[in-house]
Amino acid sequence: MQRKLANVNAWTVSATVIMILLFLPNLTIVMGIFTPTNENWAHMKEFVLGSFIKTSLILVSTTATLTIIIGLSLAWLIAQYQFPLRGFLKWALILPLSIPPFIGAYTYHGIVNYTGVIQTTLRRLGIEVNHSFFDIMNLGGAIFIYTLFLYPYVYTITRIFLSQQSASLIESARMLGKGPWGTFFQVVIPISRVAIIGGASLVVLEVLNDYGVVKYYGIQTFTTAIFQTWFGLGDIESSIKLAASLMGFVILILMIEKLLRGRRQYSYSTTKVRPLPLISLKGWKARIATGYGLTILSLGFFIPIAQLVDWTILTFGTIPISQYLSYVSNSIMVAGLSATFIILFAVIVGNFSRLVYGKTAKLLPKLSILGYSIPGAVIAVAVVTAFIGLDRFLGPLYQFLGINTTLVLSVSLIMLISAYIIRFFAIGYNAIESGYDKIGTDFRDASRLLGVGLTKTFFKVDLPMLKGAIISGFILVFIDVLKEIPLTLILRPFNFDTLSTKAFQYASDEKIMEASQASLLIVAISALAIVIFYKFLEKEPN
């Protein structure tokens, strides 16, 4: 009995510590709400905030709707039907996630602008075109970009849910004579609500915190306001206050999500997770299914990749290749380390939240998602502040060790990796939490009844069933860190370059062609990770 109690404490204590740490830097931002307003704030409110907020709302709601439509329909096709190329599309449809949205934005603009391949070809053929038809740099264009490169969040989460969990419900619906549309609207959408909302909320947060795309396309969103007060007016207090309001908005979304989830009970009913038997599509129906999947994949992956390859060939040799070796290894190292820590923490916190009854334990981990809604540059300031404080605190220890400088941790990779952990914990946690949800607590209770300790139960019972979630969480975080820009730029130590900082460096100087090589490498590594992930998951059912 004594030992069991100790176990509970270890889980609880470490989970609490992790959550506090993840939340602390955000506290700097939350406190921003209480700073008094000044004339800059008044100016922003009078002239720009209204229209910025409106633009943000349109951007976020339209993107969320479109990603749900595309993500859900693809997930449903793949989970329910057999058609040509299904096996390939199943994993390939995740690939657009490997392209950072800002690179996608530059690339698409490169394709459709005056010197781009489309207009150039048309001119050669002697066709006069209305240029404004090809203008992608507007609100519609930004929605297009975000939808194409972010829909995989909805697709991945929903597909895994549908193919692993819904078999019995959908089969019952089929048996009771529901047609495909009836099944889709009356069964699939209601039961996969959690997965859909989970994916879509990641999309929403990602759109809210992104600055690269909207800045280049000249669209003024709430994020623009944050940076305008900071960079333009030099008033970081007001900009943190704006970021804090954004956080408040996100808390609201989270609460709504919680309400929408309502009471749910979706855990496995048996130990055998049966895949859904596939219905074969024939003739034109099969062609439409394949065509639809390929169209989305081409728009979100093959077309931009073709353009990037073209640019890489054009600029090949202008940048010494030898340097890329260190960028690649740096990128993989930080992404791998951060993903490992995040998953480890998420597993601990997730297990804690499952073991403890009560609403607070369920809600607390959700708060750690807050950081995800805020532009990385603002988080970075909070992290720098925290680490400089930590370094000063550890000063006596450094002196004891014979280190003569004040800043040790904050000029090392530890600061950068901690920042990644704070920022992307939500992504890893979402995956792990849904994994725990699927397992439920029945197996654990059985194991405990048989007298097995909590920790042993975790390793023998829960962990094997959690494997899929762990890997999918790891891959998602890994790719996100590979693509990350603002934190890496601000928090990196001296002489530390990654593929994404390199791609950004060229793109920000309007040298998109030179940026193509680093971008392609990011995509290649992410794609490789996705393929490995897929191979692993495929083995799962056996």
Of 108, 144, 149, 216, which lies in the binding site for another protein, with binding defined by CB under 8 A? 216
**Which residues ranging from 69 to 108 are in contact with another protein (CB under 8 A)?**
none
**Residue with Cβ nearer another protein (331 or 418):** 418
Report residue 19 as tokens.
């959550």
Of 87, 232, 275, 464, which lies in the binding site for another protein, with binding defined by CB under 8 A? 232
Specify the DSSP element, H or E, that contains 71.
helix 50-80
Q: Is 371 in the site for another protein (CB under 8 A)?
A: no
Distance in Å, CB of 114 to another protein, minimum: 4
Q: Is 412 in the site for another protein (CB under 8 A)?
A: no
**Residue with Cβ nearer another protein (24 or 260):** 24
Would you give the binding string for another protein spanning residues 379-398, x where CB under 8 A is met? -xx--xxxxxxxxxxxx---
Q: Is 356 in the site for another protein (CB under 8 A)?
A: no
Specify the DSSP element, H or E, that contains 12.
helix 2-31
Q: Is 137 in the site for another protein (CB under 8 A)?
A: yes
Please answer whether residues 379 and 46 qualify as being in contact, where contact means their C-beta atoms are separated by less than 8 angstroms. no
Please answer whether residues 475 and 529 qualify as being in contact, where contact means their C-beta atoms are separated by less than 8 angstroms. yes
Helix pair 50-80, 193-209: axis angle to 10 deg: 140
3-class state of residue 476 by DSSP: helix
Distance in Å, CB of 416 to another protein, minimum: 11
- Three-state SS annotation for 257-294: HHHHHCCCCCCCCCCCCCCCCCEECCHHHHHHHHHHHH
Of 377, 439, 482, 537, which lies in the binding site for another protein, with binding defined by CB under 8 A? 377
Please answer whether residues 537 and 472 qualify as being in contact, where contact means their C-beta atoms are separated by less than 8 angstroms. yes
The pair phi, psi for residue 362, each rounded to 5°, is -80, -35
**Residue with Cβ nearer another protein (352 or 424):** 352
Which one of 199-207, 290-298, 362-370, 483-491 is the stretch in contact with another protein (CB under 8 A)?
483-491
For residue 474, the one-letter residue type is F
Distance in Å, CB of 166 to another protein, minimum: 34
**Residue with Cβ nearer another protein (164 or 514):** 514
Please answer whether residues 514 and 319 qualify as being in contact, where contact means their C-beta atoms are separated by less than 8 angstroms. yes
Specify the DSSP element, H or E, that contains 434.
helix 413-439
Of 2, 36, 494, 539, which lies in the binding site for another protein, with binding defined by CB under 8 A? 494
**Which residues ranging from 275 to 304 are in contact with another protein (CB under 8 A)?**
none
**Residue with Cβ nearer another protein (137 or 286):** 137
**Residue with Cβ nearer another protein (3 or 282):** 3
Distance in Å, CB of 537 to another protein, minimum: 25
Of 261, 287, 456, 535, which lies in the binding site for another protein, with binding defined by CB under 8 A? 456
Q: Is 346 in the site for another protein (CB under 8 A)?
A: no
Distance in Å, CB of 128 to another protein, minimum: 10
Size of site (CB under 8 A) for another protein: 91
Residues 6 or more apart whose CB falls under 8 angstroms from that of 447 comprise 457, 460, 461
- What is the DSSP secondary-structure string of 155-172? HHHHHHHHHHH-HHHHHH
Q: At which residue do the structure tokens 């519609």 appear? A: 140
Can you tell me the distance from the alpha carbon of 498 to that of 488, in angstroms, rounded to the nearest whole number? 8
Distance in Å, CB of 407 to another protein, minimum: 5
Q: Is 58 in the site for another protein (CB under 8 A)?
A: no
Cβ density class 149-168: b for 16+ within 10 Å, e for less: bbbbbbbbbbbbbbbbbbbe
535-541 contacts at long range (C-beta below 8 A, 24 or more positions apart):
536/471, 537/468, 537/471, 537/472, 540/467, 540/468, 541/273, 541/275
C-alpha angle 406/410/414, rounded to 5°? 135
Q: Is 267 in the site for another protein (CB under 8 A)?
A: no
Which one of 7-15, 291-299, 440-448, 518-526 is the stretch in contact with another protein (CB under 8 A)?
7-15
Q: From the centroid of its chain, how far is CA 417?
A: 17
Distance in Å, CB of 377 to another protein, minimum: 6
**Residue with Cβ nearer another protein (119 or 164):** 119
Q: Name the H helices within 231-357.
A: 236-261, 283-297, 303-315, 322-355
Of 115, 270, 360, 542, which lies in the binding site for another protein, with binding defined by CB under 8 A? 115
Please answer whether residues 93 and 293 qualify as being in contact, where contact means their C-beta atoms are separated by less than 8 angstroms. yes
**Residue with Cβ nearer another protein (49 or 189):** 49
Would you give the binding string for another protein spanning residues 13-52, x where CB under 8 A is met? xx--xx-xx--xx-xx-----------x--xx--xx----
Q: Is 132 in the site for another protein (CB under 8 A)?
A: yes
Please answer whether residues 158 and 238 qualify as being in contact, where contact means their C-beta atoms are separated by less than 8 angstroms. no
**Residue with Cβ nearer another protein (20 or 532):** 20
Of 501, 517, 519, 526, which lies in the binding site for another protein, with binding defined by CB under 8 A? 501
Distance in Å, CB of 183 to another protein, minimum: 44
Residues 6 or more apart whose CB falls under 8 angstroms from that of 144 comprise 108, 136
**Residue with Cβ nearer another protein (235 or 437):** 235
**Residue with Cβ nearer another protein (30 or 197):** 30
**Which residues ranging from 417 to 436 are in contact with another protein (CB under 8 A)?**
418
Report residue 507 as tokens.
């793109």
Of 53, 251, 337, 489, which lies in the binding site for another protein, with binding defined by CB under 8 A? 489
Q: Is 406 in the site for another protein (CB under 8 A)?
A: yes
**Residue with Cβ nearer another protein (296 or 383):** 383
